[in-house]
A = this chain, B = another copy of it.
């Protein structure tokens, strides 16, 4: 019982037949299959699916409520008042809406930071998507936990319950240095090590954060994290914009992974541009993330790759920086590696997390190098199919695993309901 994708273009522009069994790419162009389920690859391109390494999936309910504001206003006027009403139900419907978009965007896996992760798991497992799910920890009350201690208990229970799931990996997410004191950061790291969890943290996203940490501790953020024993190979730092070269060397030394979120950084006007050339030079594993759609405002990893490439080029006045092939690798293979999956390549022995692209569109002609096209010309709207863990979730633009229309409509009603609790009637 397997899946055969016939006559599809591979990332190196060869025609191939790809055989998937269980959840693995078993063979490419080996004629010995039992072709139980055949997908016609004609006029299609197969790519590794994206690994989106920084999201707040359930915040999909907050998309586009207000825009073009200072971060402080946006948090105080919208996000925090909305999050006062956040509960398991809203988290589920936000994850469902976000999850449907992930499928349509060719994203196989996310590293997510939010609350009520049981509910996020429920939505992702129903949809067939992977999630590395980190309950967010604050030094103050969260929508889910009155105290950090309560939050740690939630993390531990979640870690035990979801220990052996195929699609879900428990994680822990101390929110940031400015919102977690040292004790909390250390305790989070200790729990992560005990349960084998990935630690997700927002790091040096804004210059405000750097000043704040320096004021409080007399150290820059990475220096502080090093001094308290936090830095390690199981740490995934999101944003990582405002860093010195010394800090980047420190991240490299401890094999900390970085999630670069260019669209969110530019949109929120963090200022500066993530120091990618130095990260590359010193050997930091850089991955790509969209952040939540409340600050993006979509999960389009094609757009994210392009903005990554062109913002790096312009910032350094050098068009040879962030070449298409390496940008694509950052968005796929590097992300998979950071999250602990053998995926991100269309190769035998890799996980069958694959995207099918409809090549039959004028903006994808002429068809020379598929990766160049993927980074500079494609968008999520070109995604025709998605296979995750060997299972087709969408084919011919039709989502196979759930009734998309019904769920989308319900999720939107829930978004409106939440909106009206804070912002007034939807006009």
Contacts A379-B300, A379-B303 given; indicate if A368 touches B65 (C-beta within 8 A).
Answer: yes
Contacts A311-B266, A380-B381 given; indicate if A100 touches B362 (C-beta within 8 A).
Answer: yes
CB A273 to nearest CB in B, in angstroms, measures 8
**By the criterion CB–CB under 8 Å, are A311 and B313 in contact?**
no
* Chain B residues whose C-beta falls within 8 Å of the C-beta of A71 in the assembled complex: 319
Q: Assess whether A270 is interfacial by the CB under 8 Å rule.
A: yes
- Stretch from A131-139, A182-190, A404-412 contacting the other chain: A404-412
**By the criterion CB–CB under 8 Å, are B320 and A68 in contact?**
yes
Q: Assess whether A377 is interfacial by the CB under 8 Å rule.
A: yes
* Chain B residues whose C-beta falls within 8 Å of the C-beta of A377 in the assembled complex: 63-64, 293, 297-298
**By the criterion CB–CB under 8 Å, are A269 and B314 in contact?**
yes
Q: In whole angstroms, how far apart are the Cα atoms of A273 and B377 in the complex? A: 22
* A319 CB contact (under 8 Å) in B269, B298, B318: B269
**By the criterion CB–CB under 8 Å, are B366 and A412 in contact?**
yes
A266-B311, A298-B377, A366-B415 are known contacts; what are 10 more A-B pairs with Cβ within 8 Å?
A60-B362, A63-B377, A104-B361, A104-B363, A263-B306, A267-B376, A269-B314, A272-B314, A300-B363, A303-B379
Contacts A104-B362, A300-B379 given; indicate if A271 touches B408 (C-beta within 8 A).
Answer: no
Copies in the complex: 2
**By the criterion CB–CB under 8 Å, are B415 and A365 in contact?**
yes
Q: Assess whether A317 is interfacial by the CB under 8 Å rule.
A: yes
* A269 CB contact (under 8 Å) in B98, B317, B380, B411: B317
**By the criterion CB–CB under 8 Å, are A69 and B319 in contact?**
yes
**By the criterion CB–CB under 8 Å, are B269 and A362 in contact?**
no
User: What are 9 sample pairs from A and B whose C-beta atoms fall under 8 A apart?
Assistant: A61-B366, A64-B368, A69-B319, A263-B306, A266-B314, A267-B310, A269-B321, A297-B373, A380-B381
Kindly report which residue of chain B lies nearest to residue A270, judged by CB atoms. B314
Q: In whole angstroms, how far apart are the Cα atoms of A61 and B293 in the complex? A: 35
**In the complex, which range does the number of interface residues on chain A fall in?**
35 or more
* Chain B residues whose C-beta falls within 8 Å of the C-beta of A319 in the assembled complex: 68-71, 267-269
CB A22 to nearest CB in B, in angstroms, measures 29
* Chain B residues whose C-beta falls within 8 Å of the C-beta of A104 in the assembled complex: 361-363
Q: Assess whether A67 is interfacial by the CB under 8 Å rule.
A: yes
